Structures are given as structure tokens and as C-alpha cells.
Structure 1
Amino acid sequence: MSATPALFRNRNFILLWLASIVGNFALAVAMLAETWFVVKTLGAKEQLGIVMIAGSVPRIALMAIGGVLADRMRRSRIILVSLGSRVLMLFALVGLLAIGRLDIWALTVFAFLYGALDAFFWPARDALIPAIVPERDLTRANSVMLTTNQVGLVFGPVLGGILLATLSYEVIFGLTGVMLALATACIGFINEPFVAKIRQHGSTMLSELKEGVQYAIKTPVLRALMLVYAAANLLFMGPLALGIPIIVTENLNGEPATLSYLQSAFAAGMVIGGILLTMYPPSKKRLLMITVIIALEGVLLAMLAHTHWVWIAVAIQALIGLGVAGNNVPMMSLIQQYSDKDKIGRVMSLNSMASMGLTPLSYAMVTGLLSLHLSMAWIMPIFGLTMAALMVVMTLQMAVIREVD
């Protein structure tokens, strides 16, 4: 009997997976409707950035606390509260719409609360997987979850666009609230194995967070992962996010459809990568695999800056998406495998902070270089090839990258 059917006979995993499918579609539709409401109905496109910042700041700032709570409490209970709170928020949006009081400031508050809930949701969900899935199935389980996330990212906006063309905002937010309620119900039926959380007398959240940081730094595999992803996100996220629209405008035909092709190709590459890793989960030299893939992504990023043919750009974007899946899934499995069960929530959140926390700095670096009139034709190769070189140096200098499975 193969391992894949065994994973899909795991009742707890199936419930978590179903909750992710329904929840991702619901949130993708809600986010698209909210963005469209700000831009078209409120006519406040200049203030859309305020809403986005309001959502991102608490997500990063509170992630470490979310990791501590994931090690203190039942992870399924944290997820339940997070999703249930979002259900209430969506129905509150419906109420404000009905009385004509939904303005940019109300949406900013909702974005802040949503980002804060995210900070508790993700460490808990990532820490729950190894609690309900046997170690031999971890890579497959992470691949399935990543693929599910990307399917929601690709098709959720399509569904949202159809709904926006046919239904009112009140109905759309109400439907997404019902969908999230179904996802919450799935989480409520998960039977998470109880693991007694042993804490020293007088321990505080701050002391437990400090313990998690010290543990991650002292564990060679975890330290290497944090360094690799901090460097990669600093050099990758800014050029990719800001560079694609500029490349479409300057090198390609400048049509909105071309930008959508490139974005869809990236998401499709991640979906394909997730499916391949589900079918053929790696078990050897996974840390080495991560650094090699990130180095190749750096080369592809450099090539993309000098591409003048749409379909070549689409192919490169698909390969980059494939690479992102190819390093994210093994990364999750390595953290879950090499972390002590009572510290996995903190390690997950710290790794996310090490990468996500540098993303705004990456944006700022690229923006600064653009303000100095350095073209994207230079910026993307400089960042991409520097990232590739850095991965090579790290691989040669850190034996754990070459040796660990």
C-alpha cells in the first residue's frame, strides 16, 4: 500500500485540507471584493496602500507571539478561533455595508485585525501538521497544502470576478462568511492528539520566545534555514514583485493581459511543483536541494530582466514558481522534522519572520535604486546573481547544508 492513500485516509488531515480549500477560496474572493470596493466604489485607490500596510504590519510584528501560543495551546483551537473571528468580521462588513458606513478607515481596521489573526493562524496551522501526520508523510502533506494554497490563489480571484459581475457586495461578503464558517466547522472536528506542554515555573511568553530563538540559533539545520531564507527573501522578493510590471511595460507589449499571464504562470508553476512533490517527495539532501534551487531562481530572475518575448517570459515565470514550491515544501518538512515538538510553533514563526520581515526592506532597496535612475535591466540581474552567488558560498561554507537529509 502506497503512502499517498494512507495520507488521504488520515481523518484529521482530510479535515484540515478541506478547511484550507474552502478557506483559501473564501479569503481570495473576499480580498478581491474588498480591493475592488476600495478602488471602484470608494474611489480611494491612493489609499489602498494604507489598507495593505495595516494588514502586513501586525502579521509580522505578532508572528513570534503566535509561535509561542502555538507551543502553549492546542493548535487546532487557535486555528478555530482565528477562522471563527474572520467569520464574524465578514458579517460585520455586511452590516456596515447595509447601513452605508463601510469606509476606508473601517476597512483599514478590518485589515489590521485580519493581519493580527494571520499571525496566530499560520504558526498554529504549520505546527498542527506534524502533530496529526506521521513523519513519513510530512513532505507529501506539505506539498498538498502548498498546492491547495496556490489553487486558491489562481482560481479564487476568477470566482471573485464572476461574483462581482453578478452579485452585490453584501451577498459576496455574506457567502464568503458562510464558506469560512464551513471551514471553521471542519477544524472543530479535528481530534488533535493532546501533548502536555511542560513549562518551567514562572516562565513567561517573553522567556519562552527567548528560549525558541536560542534553540533555533543553536540547532545547525534550523540556523542554516533561517540564514538561507533571510538572504533569499531580501534579494528576491523586491525585484520579483516590483520588477514584473516594469518588465511588462518596458520589454514586452505593456498590455494588462501580459501581466496577468506572467502572474498566472508563476502561480501555475507553484501548483505543478506542489503536485510533483506530492507524487515524488524528496527525502535526501533536502537542504542542498533548497540552496541549489534558490541559486537557479537567481539566474532566472537575471534572465527575465532581458526577455523581450512574452512566452519566454511566461516560461521563466513558471520555472520560478516551480522553484519556489521546490524550496518551500522541503523547508517546511525540515523544520517539522528537526524541531522539538514543544518548540515547533516558535521555530515556524521565527523562520517566517526572518524571511517576511526583510521583504519590506527588499521593496525599499529596489525602490531606492529606481529613484537613482538605475534601470530594472540592471537591478534584477544584480539582485538575482548576488543571490545565486550567496547560495553557492553558503553551501561551500556550511557543511550542514551539504550533509543533512
Structure 2
Amino acid sequence: MSASAHLSAPVHDVTAAPLLRNRNFLLIWLASIICNLALAIAMLAETWYVVKTLGVKEDLGFVMIAGSVPRIALMAVGGVIADRMKRGRIIAVSMSVRVVLLFALVALLALGDLNIWVLTGFAFLYGALDAFFWPARDAVLPGIVRDSDLTRANSIMLTTNQIGLVFGPVLGGILLALLPYEAVFSLTGVLLAIGAACVAFLKEPEVVRRRGESRMLMELKEGVKYALASPVLRSLMIIYAIANLLFMGPLGLGIPIVVTDNLAGEASTLSFLQSAFAVGMVTGGTLLTVYPPMKKRLLMIALVIALEGVVLGLQGHTHWTPLAMGLQFLLGLGVAANNVPMMSLIQHYTDRDKIGRVMSLNTMASMGLSPISYAMVTALLSLHVGIGWIMPVFGLTMAVLVLAMAVRIPTIRHTD
């Protein structure tokens, strides 16, 4: 392990309360559960509106690309701002703006003006908000919990956040069967408003900035140099860049198509698959909460991502709903098994005054290739290449590349 990696370990607030008696942690925890429930319902409703109501499943990729591009383009700026301002304030504002956008969507839907291009525009705005929300959300925990509680706090957050994603699709499927789209989107707006109110009461330490860091470009450049100088952070960014290039498109676009082409073709079936994915994440997060990994975490991430590639390939050939749900469960389990140690590694190997920038850079390195992944899958679908080819080719290529990295880079094999 390099000296630069040791120097990046943060010094945490020793006055922070034990985790489950920590008011600030409980507030951000509650807000995350509520918001993930709301976003899961909204995502299911939007996806089903495009695939079934508009009948343009081939254009779903445009919506996802539109959400990804501003998220990546502004992510570095969001990271710098997360190091300049209180993270809770950023989270609350981004959520509040999303509430306004959701009710604007309801108004357009009621007027009959909600088409694929309007949804694409909304996705663009959502992505821009995410660019500020994600770095702040990922950077807030080190300021409000003790260093010894970080891995467990990340596991609890990931696990309980998925409670919303477990029940969200199921609830969304029920709501879509009983209520019009306007009522479903209105409910999600109300839930997001409640979550934003919870975050508004968050108390966190004042942001400490060193003299001479007034220029955003200088701070961004410093963050890039810092991350690239650390073998651990550099390896993480490369691994997640490969994974998201070859995973996000086939998963995001492939699952609705598997449902419509291979399975029952109902909103309830899509909700079952999304819930199975979330149950897998809950299970993985629970295991990591009880048994937090402390050894070979970077190697664990690489191996889990390789296994996810194999499972993704199998998913493209499922014609039986229980089997598809089982594979989704394994994919969710894998996501939890690599995301929790990833967050802990970044938080452990990064100075606190740079954590917002490093979080955003890691997200950019991974999610920056998501629009290309969506575009590749969309292009192949337009050329009438079946999802039964796309998912296996992408998944197995991802597995091979990540395993090759683990073999060739000692840092991946030896970092705890």
C-alpha cells in the first residue's frame, strides 16, 4: 500500500454520537428511505409510460442518455460545491427542485402534452440535479458519524435505502393498476417533499476551507491530481468505468425489454423484477452490516463485478418469471457487495476536505460512460440485434476485462 494512500485517511469527528443514537444519521437515513421509495415508484411509472402507453420502447434509451449527460458534465462542479457548502443544504435544495419538476410533469400529463421528447427534457433536468445531489449525499456521512462506524453506516444506508426500492416497484405496480399517472406522480412529489423536510433539519460541521482555494477550477484540478496519485482511488475509477460502460445500458434498457418480449409483458412483472433486484441489495447490505469486510476489499469488488457480468448474460435468455427474479436478486446482491466496500474505501483513503471532489470524480469515471452504454444498446436495438445477444456479449466482456485488471494490477489484489 502506498504512502499516499495512508496520508489520505481522514480524521473523523470524535464527538459524533454512536450510530443508532446519532440524530443527524437518523435524519439522513429516514430521508433516504422516503426518497428511494418515491423515486422507485416514479421510475417504474415513467418507464412503463414510455414502453406501454407511448409504445416506443426503442426510444427509452434517449431518455436515459438525456439523464446521464448533464449528470456527468456537471458532476465535477457538484463535487467542488460539496466541498464548499454544507452537504445537507445541497441535498435539500436538489430534492425540493425535483418536487417542483414532478408537479410540472403532472400538469403536462393532465393537458395531454407528455410525450417522449418532453420526458427526455425532464430527464435532462433530473440528471443536472443528480450532479449536485450525489456528491453531497456520498460525502455527508464522514462529517456526521465516527470513523469506526463508517462501514456499518454505509451498509445500513444501502440496505435500508433498498427497502424503498423493494416496496416501491410493487407499490408502483399496484398504483398504476388503480390510479391514473397524474395521481402516481403527485404521490411521489409529496414523498420527496417530506424527505427534503427531513434533510432540512440536519446539523453538520461547518465546512473548513484552506486559504487560497477560492477558484473552482483550481480546486477541481487539485482533486483530479489527488485521485490519480492514489493507486487505490485510481484503480477504483478504472474498474467502475469498465463496469458501467458494459453494465448500465444492458441492465437499464434490457430488463423492460425482457419483460415485454420474453415474459408476461405486464407492469406487475416489471415491478416484481425490480423488487427482486432491490431484495438482493437489501440482503447483500444486511450481510455487510453484520459482517463488514475489512480485508481485500478491492479484490472483492473486482470478483463480484465479474460474476455480475455472467449473471447479466444469463438474464437476456430468461423466459420464466421466477428465474428472471432469481437472476435479478443475484444482480442486486452483487451491486450491494461492491458498492458498500467501494464507498468505505473512498471514505477511508480520502482527506475529508477533498471527499466531495473524489466522490464526484469516481462517479464521473464510472457514470461518464453510461450515456455511451445506453447509446450502444439503443443503436444495436435499432439494427434489430436482439437483447438475447446484447446482454451476454456485454456482460461476459465486462467479466473478462475486470478479471484481467485484477491479475495485472497488484493494488487490486492486496488493498484492504
TM-score (norm 1): 0.85
Is residue 154 of structure 1 aligned with residue 166 of structure 2? yes
Counterpart contact for 2:170–2:272, Cα < 8 Å? no
Range that drifts further, 205-214 or 176-185: 176-185
Please show how residues 222-371 of structure 1 align to structure 2 within 5 Å. Answer: 222-244=233-255, 255-256=265-266, 261-305=272-316, 310-368=321-379
**Structure 2 CA distance for partners of 1:245 and 1:200, relative to 1, 3 Å:** same
Equivalent position amino acid for 1:269 in 2: G
Partner Cα separation in structure 1 for residue 396 and residue 61 of structure 2: 30
What is the aligned counterpart of 1:401 among 405, 409, 412? 412
Report the Cα offset of residue 375 of structure 1: 5.5
Range that drifts further, 177-186 or 216-225: 177-186
Report the Cα offset of residue 8 of structure 1: 1.5
Report the Cα offset of residue 292 of structure 1: 1.3
Report the Cα offset of residue 192 of structure 1: 0.3
* Partner deviation per Cα, 1:310-329 (whole Å, 9 max, x = no partner): 54443333222211110011
- The match for 2:150 is 138
Of structures 1 and 2, the one with the larger relative CO (CA 8 A, separation 6+) is 2
* Partner deviation per Cα, 1:42-65 (whole Å, 9 max, x = no partner): 888887665544433222221111
Partner Cα separation in structure 2 for residue 284 and residue 232 of structure 1: 22
Is residue 122 of structure 1 aligned with residue 122 of structure 2? no
Secondary structure of the structure 2 residue equivalent to 1:343:
helix
Report the Cα offset of residue 228 of structure 1: 0.7
Please show how residues 5-84 of structure 1 align to structure 2 within 5 Å. Answer: 6-33=18-45, 51-84=63-96
Q: Which runs of 5+ in 2 are unaligned?
A: 1-16
**Structure 2 CA distance for partners of 1:253 and 1:277, relative to 1, 3 Å:** same
Partner Cα separation in structure 2 for residue 152 and residue 211 of structure 1: 37
- The match for 2:3 is none
Equivalent position amino acid for 1:237 in 2: M
Partner Cα separation in structure 2 for residue 317 and residue 400 of structure 1: 31
Equivalent position amino acid for 2:302 in 1: T
**Structure 2 CA distance for partners of 1:47 and 1:191, relative to 1, 3 Å:** same
Work out the number of aligned pairs and report it: 398
Partner Cα separation in structure 1 for residue 316 and residue 188 of structure 2: 38
Range that drifts further, 258-267 or 384-393: 258-267
**Structure 2 CA distance for partners of 1:255 and 1:62, relative to 1, 3 Å:** same
Partner Cα separation in structure 1 for residue 181 and residue 73 of structure 2: 31
TM-score (norm 2): 0.83
Partner Cα separation in structure 2 for residue 47 and residue 386 of structure 1: 25
Partner Cα separation in structure 2 for residue 108 and residue 183 of structure 1: 25
- The match for 1:209 is 220
Root mean square deviation of aligned Cα: 3.3
* Partner deviation per Cα, 1:320-372 (whole Å, 9 max, x = no partner): 22111100111011111111111111111111111111122223334555666
Equivalent position amino acid for 2:84 in 1: R
Partner Cα separation in structure 2 for residue 368 and residue 102 of structure 1: 27
Counterpart contact for 1:130–1:138, Cα < 8 Å? yes
**Structure 2 CA distance for partners of 1:371 and 1:189, relative to 1, 3 Å:** closer
Equivalent position amino acid for 1:61 in 2: A
- The match for 1:177 is 189
Report the Cα offset of residue 125 of structure 1: 0.7
Report the Cα offset of residue 377 of structure 1: 5.0
Counterpart contact for 1:298–1:384, Cα < 8 Å? yes
Equivalent position amino acid for 1:156 in 2: G
- The match for 1:193 is 205
Partner Cα separation in structure 2 for residue 170 and residue 372 of structure 1: 35
Is residue 113 of structure 1 aligned with residue 125 of structure 2? yes
